[in-house]
Structure 1
Amino acid sequence: MEGFCFARCRFTRLVVAMQLVMGVLVICISMASLHRFYTTDALLPGGLDDPARCARFHGAVAGGYSGFDIRALADRVDEVLVQLAELQDKLEATALKIGKKTKKRKGKGKLQQQENMTMTEFQRFLEDEVIHPLYGAHIALRLIRIPRPDPDGGAPAVDPLVNFFAAEETRKYVTAKRNREGRPGAYGANRTYGSIGHACVVMRRELDEYMSYDVGALCPDDWDLGQRLMLGGCDPLPRRRCLARASKLFRRPLPINESLWALPDDGNVRWSRYHCRGYRCLSARNPRRGYDRCVGCFDMDREKQRWMQGSNGTTLADFRMEEVLAVKPGEIRVGLDVTVGTGSFAARMRERGVTVVTTAVNLGAPFAETVALRGLVALYAGLGQRLPLFDNSMDMVHTGGVLDGWVDLQMLDFVLFDWDRVLRPGGLLWVDKFACARKDLDDYMYMFLQFRYKKHRWVVSFKSRDEVYLSALLEKPLRS
């Protein structure tokens, strides 16, 4: 019992010592901030009493410092002080809690065995409650600096985005990073910029929420927030310095020969942001399925029959994969599938030795996870994003179900020109059952015909009384 009390007292003394250290640190930071404020004139030789020096100072501000937000600088200092104050409150509450338990034990007549804090628990307490907050405050303090003149002779460039966002991680990301020791970069650039879409400014509140996390800890379970930012035009998203979450029930995936045409294990997907909680709910046989945009996408028996010879219930708009590949025998090696689906087209192509990357967005169902767990490559990208592929690099671009009659014509124009960019000369564009209203058919046909591709196949068939299917197999010409 004496050893137990000694351990408890030692821990209490440690917490009290940490409180004292934190208190001294807060006082030092406050005094340093006040000293810096009251000694601003020391930055100017002769002080502010000299009108000539004052005029030169204001001239320098007009030349480059006028865009600097002093209020944002003060807000950063306040944020650090708040973090340190919260940390001190946590330590005080912990010490008070330990003190109450110690008094209760002393007041009892019988000796009772109490569970002591293990080294693992103590380590976790220090990391979560002390080290991480101190690290965040340390990084924030390192970024508090008035912009200095550019060594290259230019005015101090202050990105307005730095002071526009509230989340410190966002400001860290968009701030230009100078090369170490002035060394030139790979392309002669002396600084690196973190790129984010201009729509991030419009969605500032959502982006600040997305970038509010603990550095080095587990990321929040907010993939849906990130996807909402992507679809809203805030793309590419800024990188984050946290550890991605995975399902607690994650199991070893199936071998490649088995995984192509089998649904993954439910435990390998995080279902926290979906209506369904398993693949059975997403099945086409379920009358209350959780997603209707791609009926049958999670029915592997049905998916296995698509693009095959002799499949039943097809129309003239359904092209067979063997017929398409026979147009360019041996030339189709890599391709891109822009679709709403679970990667079945890529799986079918893989059986024929063709590597296909599938674009996927999780609109109501885990499409990206399903594609990856089937052993295929899922490119997490929306229609508004420029394809991260080089010019003339794809042998085939396949699309089906993603553009069906809803997309704006100008938006479709940008998308098609990007597909044309990545498709090599002689490559194939496979338009797979593009659905639209009959009255809009001429407009959409023009969008595809404007590129003057060679027609291998061109079919228009009825989907319903007012809707039609357009399927086409087109070959990109050589341009020089």
Structure 2
Amino acid sequence: MEGFCFARCRFTRLVVAMQLVMGVLVICISMASLHRFYTTDALLPGGLDDPARCARFHGAVAGGYSGFDIRALADRVDEVLVQLAELQDKLEATALKIGKKTKKRKGKGKLQQQENMTMTEFQRFLEDEVIHPLYGAHIVLRLIRIPRPDPDGGAPAVDPLVNFFAAEETRKYVTAKRNREGRPGAYGANRTYGSIGHACVVMRRELDEYMSYDVGALCPDDWDLGQRLMLGGCDPLPRRRCLARASKLFRRPLPINESLWALPDDGNVRWSRYHCRGYRCLSARNPRRGYDRCVGCFDMDREKQRWMQGSNGTTLADFRMEEVLAVKPGEIRVGLDVTVGTGSFAARMRERGVTVVTTAVNLGAPFAETVALRGLVALYAGLGQRLPLFDNSMDMVHTGGVLDGWVDLQMLDFVLFDWDRVLRPGGLLWVDKFACARKDLDDYMYMFLQFRYKKHRWVVSFKSRDEVYLSALLEKPLRS
């Protein structure tokens, strides 16, 4: 009985300590918010004593901070404070409940049945009631958007129409997501836009150029202009009443038993908008091939060895395809590959009777054309677009190479929730060598762990001194 009381007292002290920490944290955040409010003049040269500076901050001067959504910032801070306050109340109630049970038990003697909490129950309590709310508050704080001054010294740039929408989730979605620490993104841009149509206002000149053509005639050779509109958030593109161009040297594609692991004929691709003029130029040995996100992905001999037993994978993060499929034998039939590549994952899966759709964008090379000419399905879509797939329809979602440590946390959040939407219960999410800085690993891991998927495999290995790989095989639970 003494050991039981000791365990209970230790747990009570732990809960009380957490309660005190939460209380101090709430007080610190509140004081920091008030300090930021009362010292706003420190952000403005000349202080708030200068009427011109004050007017500029409050939006009276055109081009100042008038477009910045102060209300959204206040809502985010309030949301964090509410979450922390709720966590504090929950811990206080738990500590009080434990204290009452301990007093009753002491008065009833040794015949009282012990209700000791096991280590598993204690771990589940910490994860569900403490760690998860703290992580949520942490991510909310990290996603607060504060206007940044223009590099040229001007006022902070605000995306047009951000405050046009009433729902805050819509405003979050349409706001451009900057790459972390200025790192280069998969699509060659320093920010990513959600495709909801408002970005067409920003790109009005490009859209007018795209829709200037002769009705019924051949379309202009401007696929790169359309792709620029897509990646800029002006998507889906409007339909055009002109005839799509094809290569003048187009030849019949190879049969499916030959096309999976053979480069297409150069004549089947229009090369006018690429740096290279043929597949030979795209070799990994060519230092000026025009792209850098998929080194060696046009080398079919190299690609044929990936995800295979005995391949040249050098890290624990390299999962083998047979091992992954063995987790759900016979259940993986259709899937989605979100990647930068030429469809080798889909080709390998097709050999095993699995149909995989590959997302492809032409980033300096004909990725989409190559996927299709290999006899596979290429979905021409970027990260900012909602997947044109119905809910719970995919047995697997595989991603590799397109998401790395450059990606904005809020953008990744929207992307992962969309993948969760199309993945069926019991389906597999295969995160294939997600690369990020070691200091950012905790942030990114939470983004994947928040869905409470079952872990079949979870590996973190070193890529370099300051970077790591994260590979995971996760199973979506049933929700109803």
Q: Which range, TM-score by smaller chain?
A: 0.5 to 0.7
On the 8 A contact 1:197/1:234 being kept in 2, the answer is: yes
On the 8 A contact 1:196/1:238 being kept in 2, the answer is: no
Structure 2: how far apart are the matches of 1:468 and 1:85? 35
On the 8 A contact 2:371/2:377 being kept in 1, the answer is: yes
Structure 1: how far apart are the matches of 2:122 and 2:456? 70
Q: CA deviation at 1:349?
A: 0.1
> For structure 2, which runs of at least 5 residues remain unmatched after alignment?
none
List 4+ stretches of structure 1 deviating above 3 A. Answer: 1-196
Structure 1: how far apart are the matches of 2:245 and 2:416? 35
Structure 1: how far apart are the matches of 2:456 and 2:131? 64
- Using a 3 Å threshold, how does the CA distance of structure 1 residues 269 and 156 change in structure 2: closer, same or farther? closer
Q: CA deviation at 1:253?
A: 0.4
On the 8 A contact 1:357/1:376 being kept in 2, the answer is: yes
On the 8 A contact 2:192/2:384 being kept in 1, the answer is: no
- Using a 3 Å threshold, how does the CA distance of structure 1 residues 113 and 204 change in structure 2: closer, same or farther? farther
- Using a 3 Å threshold, how does the CA distance of structure 1 residues 361 and 106 change in structure 2: closer, same or farther? farther
- Using a 3 Å threshold, how does the CA distance of structure 1 residues 160 and 298 change in structure 2: closer, same or farther? closer
Q: Which moved more, 1:192-201 or 1:226-235?
A: 192-201
Structure 1: how far apart are the matches of 2:274 and 2:418? 31
Q: CA deviation at 1:369?
A: 0.3
On the 8 A contact 1:263/1:300 being kept in 2, the answer is: yes
On the 8 A contact 2:297/2:341 being kept in 1, the answer is: yes
Structure 2: how far apart are the matches of 1:99 and 1:479? 35
On the 8 A contact 1:317/1:471 being kept in 2, the answer is: yes
On the 8 A contact 1:294/1:340 being kept in 2, the answer is: yes
Q: Which moved more, 1:120-129 or 1:55-64?
A: 120-129
Question: TM-score, normalized by length of structure 1?
Answer: 0.60
Q: Which moved more, 1:7-16 or 1:372-381?
A: 7-16
On the 8 A contact 2:291/2:364 being kept in 1, the answer is: yes
Q: Which moved more, 1:230-239 or 1:26-35?
A: 26-35
Q: Which moved more, 1:448-457 or 1:104-113?
A: 104-113
On the 8 A contact 2:65/2:156 being kept in 1, the answer is: yes
Question: TM-score, normalized by length of structure 2?
Answer: 0.60
Query: Secondary structure of 1:317's match?
Result: coil
On the 8 A contact 2:349/2:356 being kept in 1, the answer is: yes
| Cα deviation 1:49-97 (Å, max 9, x = unaligned) | 9999999999999999999999999999999999999999999999999
On the 8 A contact 2:178/2:191 being kept in 1, the answer is: yes
Q: Which moved more, 1:171-180 or 1:409-418?
A: 171-180
Q: CA deviation at 1:390?
A: 0.1
Q: Percent identity?
A: 100
| Cα deviation 1:350-405 (Å, max 9, x = unaligned) | 00000000000001111000000000000000000000000000000000000111
RMSD: 25.9
2:85 maps to 1:119: no
Query: Secondary structure of 1:436's match?
Result: strand
Q: CA deviation at 1:285?
A: 2.4
- Using a 3 Å threshold, how does the CA distance of structure 1 residues 247 and 412 change in structure 2: closer, same or farther? same
| Cα deviation 1:429-448 (Å, max 9, x = unaligned) | 00000000011000000000
Query: Secondary structure of 2:64's match?
Result: helix
Q: Which moved more, 1:146-155 or 1:186-195?
A: 146-155
| Cα deviation 1:261-308 (Å, max 9, x = unaligned) | 000011100111111111111111224322221101100000000000
On the 8 A contact 1:436/1:468 being kept in 2, the answer is: yes
Q: CA deviation at 1:314?
A: 2.5
- Using a 3 Å threshold, how does the CA distance of structure 1 residues 129 and 323 change in structure 2: closer, same or farther? closer
Point out the structure with max Rg over C-alpha: 1
| Cα deviation 1:306-340 (Å, max 9, x = unaligned) | 00001124210000000000000000000000001
Residue 262 of structure 1 corresponds to 262
- Using a 3 Å threshold, how does the CA distance of structure 1 residues 120 and 332 change in structure 2: closer, same or farther? closer
> For structure 1, which runs of at least 5 residues remain unmatched after alignment?
none
On the 8 A contact 1:431/1:471 being kept in 2, the answer is: yes
- Using a 3 Å threshold, how does the CA distance of structure 1 residues 281 and 98 change in structure 2: closer, same or farther? farther
Structure 1: how far apart are the matches of 2:234 and 2:57? 39
On the 8 A contact 1:317/1:432 being kept in 2, the answer is: yes
- Using a 3 Å threshold, how does the CA distance of structure 1 residues 64 and 16 change in structure 2: closer, same or farther? same
On the 8 A contact 2:192/2:232 being kept in 1, the answer is: no
- Using a 3 Å threshold, how does the CA distance of structure 1 residues 167 and 429 change in structure 2: closer, same or farther? closer
Structure 1: how far apart are the matches of 2:147 and 2:36? 15
On the 8 A contact 2:177/2:410 being kept in 1, the answer is: no
- Using a 3 Å threshold, how does the CA distance of structure 1 residues 70 and 228 change in structure 2: closer, same or farther? same
